[in-house]
Chains A and B, each alone.
Chain A
Amino acid sequence: MTQPEPARPHLDGAAGTAGRLILPIAVTAAILVVLPHLWFADSPYTTGLAVEALVFGCYAVGFNLIFGSTNQLFLCVGALAGVGGYATAILSDKASLPLAVGVAIGTVSAAIVGGLLAWIAVRRSLNVIFTGIVTLVFSLAFTNFIIGQRDLTGADTGYVLEGAATKLADDRLGGYYLFAGLLVALLIVFRALQLSHLGWAFRALRDDEVAAELAGVDVARYRIYAAVVGSAMIGLTGGLFAYSLGFISPVTYGFAQVDVQVLIIVAFGGMGTLLGPVIGAAAFGFLDRALSDSGQLREAYYGAFVIAIFLFLRRGVVPTVGGLFERLVGSRRRAQRVESAAPGRSER
């Protein structure tokens, strides 16, 4: 990023644009590949925490697409992941379908559920808070449903995936690379959506819903699209997570355990940004590790940290850092632009 660049994307060459748009993902992927070798490959405990951070990163990308891009507060990330997770577990274990089929059905089910929730919210034109509450109610109902179906799900005691346990649960590093790959794949999908006409519609409806509607953006349709794709991401992650853990229980997908954390990760990283979920998940991974020996007070420290970041970093890390960067680099760029514009030649 050291060579001087033209200020506006549409003035770039096609190759330059593509490079810049892919670059953050490529850098993330490179870091994810080398990180275990530089740091924690020999510590199963830290590797386990890293896997968890990656899983939360994947959830956060899906949630970011739904909430960050289209302003629908889905407080059912855990439940959607649970739809994927339990479908995968039960189909591949009890119905002895191949794992891939189980994961696929789980992903599709989560996408359908998410799409339905968005459809309801759109039809009833619920605002952010009410969408949040309806999906929260869905989350709680889902947890109760899982607990109720004792024969199928093992209720609170949990469910051991017979087939999966031997494979990935013991191979922590394998799990790490599985979710690192998934995270990169989801980021690519997110970026591709941002670049397509969907991304344009998302930006419009996020900036000003009424104006977007007036400009001919079918807000309802794009909300449902975002919910379907985001929920599929979450369901897929939940299914693969079940498989890699080898054991799931309602707590694995609980509201307090998943949704709260994902909301904080995305708000911390920066709503609607590409790398926000990754940075948020990494930060909370570090926080988890740092707090791991503080015992009983862990939760209190965690809460204090949450309060501190939202008091001082309201817009999230990515927009704040981006703003600082723009201010530093932007002034130089502006100077260049004035210089190049001054002699009266057009900018091509």
Chain B
Amino acid sequence: MSNKWDKLSKQETMKESIRPSLTYWQDAWRRLKKNVLSMLGLGVILLLILYAGFGNAFTDWRYSDQKLDMSNLPPKLEVFDVGDGITLYVHKEYTLYQIKDNGKIIEKLELPTANKDMLKKQNHYTLEGKNITVDYSFAAKAKKSNDPNAIKFQLLVDDKVYTVPTSKIGNGVYRFGTDGLGRDLFARLVYGARISLLIAFIATMVQFFIGVLYGGISGYIGGKVDNVMMRIVDIISTVPLLLYVIMLMVVIGPGLKTICIALGSVYWVNMARIVRGQVLSIKEQEFVLAARTIGASTWRIMVRHLIPNALGPIIVSLAMMIPSAIFTEAFLSFIGLGVNAPMASWGTLANDAVPGLRSYAYQLMYPSLFISLTVLAFNFLGDGLRDALDPRLRK
């Protein structure tokens, strides 16, 4: 290659361009993949969506199925193996359950009123010729001693005494335990995931599309248009959410649709403000001027130049939005403006569990775990997306 001005052969051309050209989204995805936490977040979100979609295949119960006898059973059963193949579980209410097949079958033993000795604090049972007594007369003393490990009851089988559970086995019938009405928490959490994720998704989508476009137009056009549009935003943001919801309830009636409309109609306002602020500063920069000079349309400038550059705050605000939407739904459901019982969302499940927190902590643990996981996952993903989508960090 002596003469640098000679035309390259085709083979040589190929050799030169080692790096393939990447589109904006390809590049973003490439950079996102490098962020371990974001990928973890994305993975968790996908798992949650799968759980919401197909979780009910793993349980025999529907979210509304009740078995009052099976109320408040925990996911891990501390059982007593009393010999002759009999395994017993003593409920927090000091009633007796027989466990068979390694937790696969749970039966509540019959306790006639005559066998309930409230004075001596004993419950008497007979099972396969054995006399079994649950003696919980220590409970009051155990409580007074303030020692969390104090023995609260003992199990008397004929003449043998059991105070410490012999083993701990998983609940084979209700994987996550049951709530106060004997409903499977697993099934209810699946159902709750559907509702909570749906509401989170709709609220953020509405916020994203309406808020970003509205704020973008307002900021980019500026002047009188900006003034009028932002005053409309001011007016909308002064009306409390609760008022909207109650009015919508009267018109449409309670339910998921109402919540989505209510959240959608209010939540985009903050986003519009953020985007407008960003656009106001970005639109003065040279690259926008350059784009305008070569004749790019307003729409193109907004979508290709302004919004990608404002994506950081947008994504952060979206990630924050999701937990807020989930919690708002929980609150609305609690005051009777949301999903109707026995439907459940994670928020209502957590809410229902609070009164029994001291005895049945697991009922609060699972829904709050799911809410936390969702929030965390979306935050990680949002973090990574912000970096990945920022054109300034593009290499």
A, B co-complexed: no
Residues of chain A having any CB pair with chain B under 8 Å: none
